[in-house]
């Protein structure tokens, strides 16, 4: 692996812990102004010191993130659909030249296995991997799940393995029952999405269960920026992911911050 590729992967998964807290704020690319991200710049700025990397689109990156910020960027480069239509009908939406200009640490693209656009999104992934490898930029594949599809270990193992076989350097998926099977079948590092907003204690449990069963970390969005205390929440997630704190310890830290603020 060349130096640039290794360097960028180390930006995403810091070698001191071998774990990653990625902050996902790319939701607007198909959801529009998601709750908590109406003004992405204001949401993101206080969270940056606690994130290892930031996953977002180029539009939000250019307009809302200080270029002097040292945050490694995972650029969402698939899209072209909205919540109102068929989500799987994605294309690659950013040229590799623009990604290089934006100095990104990784490129992120969704695959939709088992949908009518399976072949197209997998071909998009293979094409993006060729471009990324040429410039030393890792590709993170997101195993997107259609509205009616089961997020079980059998299905997610299939998606993650296909993504890795096509050359993704990191795979983002969902936590599920039997997650060890998903990890065991995937030869590249896995991170999990947080999913819809749930209670903070439950989200910390989710992060803990994922890393204790082999994920290298989280690429979490709504459970951080929709929290009543986003900075406290990302700090608590860091404790679980990087410091192996239990969900109870991290939750006590979070509620302690609330108590101090009150
Ligand atoms: C959508 C994505 C989002 O970044 C991701 O799902 C957001 O994270 P969360 O589920 O934790 O809000 O990749 O395809």
Q: How many Cβ atoms are within 10 Å of 70's Cβ, its own excluded?
A: 8
Does residue 194's CB lie within 6 angstroms of at least one atom of ligand 1? yes
Tell whether domain 3-194+214-221 is in CATH 3.40.109.10.
no
For residue 262, report the distance from its CA to the centre of ligand 1, in Å: 31
Please list the pLDDT of the chain residue by residue as tens digits (262 residues).
Answer: 799 999 999 999 999 999 999 999 999 999 999 999 999 999 999 999 999 999 999 999 999 999 999 999 999 999 999 999 999 999 999 999 999 999 999 999 999 999 999 999 999 999 999 999 999 999 999 999 876 778 899 999 999 999 999 999 999 999 999 999 999 999 999 999 999 999 999 999 999 999 999 999 999 999 999 999 999 999 999 999 999 999 999 999 999 987 777 6
Q: In the numeric block, which tokens belong to residue 86?
A: 């068929």
d(Cα 109, Cα 79) in Å, to the nearest integer? Answer: 8
The residues, ordered by sequence, that sit 6+ positions from 123 with a Cβ below 8 Å of its Cβ are: none
Q: Which atom of ligand 1 is nearest to the CA of 29?
A: 1
Reported pTM: 0.96
- 145 within 8 A of 113, measured Cβ to Cβ: no
Specify burial of residue 19 (Cβ count, 10 A radius: 0-12, 13-18, 19+): buried
- Report in angstroms the alpha-carbon separations of 121 from 88, 111, 240: 8, 5, 33
Does residue 167's CB lie within 6 angstroms of at least one atom of ligand 1? no
Domain range list for the chain: 3-194+214-221
- Report in angstroms the alpha-carbon separations of 253 from 217, 232, 248: 20, 8, 9
């Amino acid at each position: 692996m060349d130096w640039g590729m290794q360097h960028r992967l180390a930006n995403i998964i810091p070698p001191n812990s071998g774990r990653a807290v990625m902050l996902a704020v790319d939701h607007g690319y198909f959801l529009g102004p998601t709750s908590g991200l109406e003004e992405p710049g204001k949401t993101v700025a206080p969270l940056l010191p606690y994130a290892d990397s930031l996953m977002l689109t180029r539009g939000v990156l250019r307009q809302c993130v200080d270029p002097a910020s040292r945050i490694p960027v995972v650029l969402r480069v698939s899209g072209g659909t909205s919540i109102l239509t068929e989500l799987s009908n994605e294309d690659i939406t950013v040229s590799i030249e623009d990604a290089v200009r934006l100095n990104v640490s990784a490129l992120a693209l969704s695959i939709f296995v088992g949908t009518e656009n399976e072949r197209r999104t997998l071909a998009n992934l293979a094409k993006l991997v060729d471009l990324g490898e040429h410039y030393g930029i890792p590709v993170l594949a997101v195993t997107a799940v259609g509205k009616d599809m089961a997020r079980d270990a059998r299905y997610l193992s299939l998606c993650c393995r296909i993504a890795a076989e096509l050359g993704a350097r990191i795979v983002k998926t969902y936590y599920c029952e039997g997650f060890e099977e998903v990890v065991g079948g995937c030869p590249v590092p896995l991170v999990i999405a947080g999913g819809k907003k749930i209670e903070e204690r439950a989200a910390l449990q989710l992060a803990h269960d994922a890393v204790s069963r082999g994920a290298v970390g989280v690429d979490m969005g709504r459970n951080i920026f929709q929290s009543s205390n986003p900075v406290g929440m990302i700090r608590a997630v860091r404790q679980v992911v990087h410091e192996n704190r239990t969900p109870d310890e991290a939750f006590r830290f979070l509620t302690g911050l609330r108590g101090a603020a009150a």
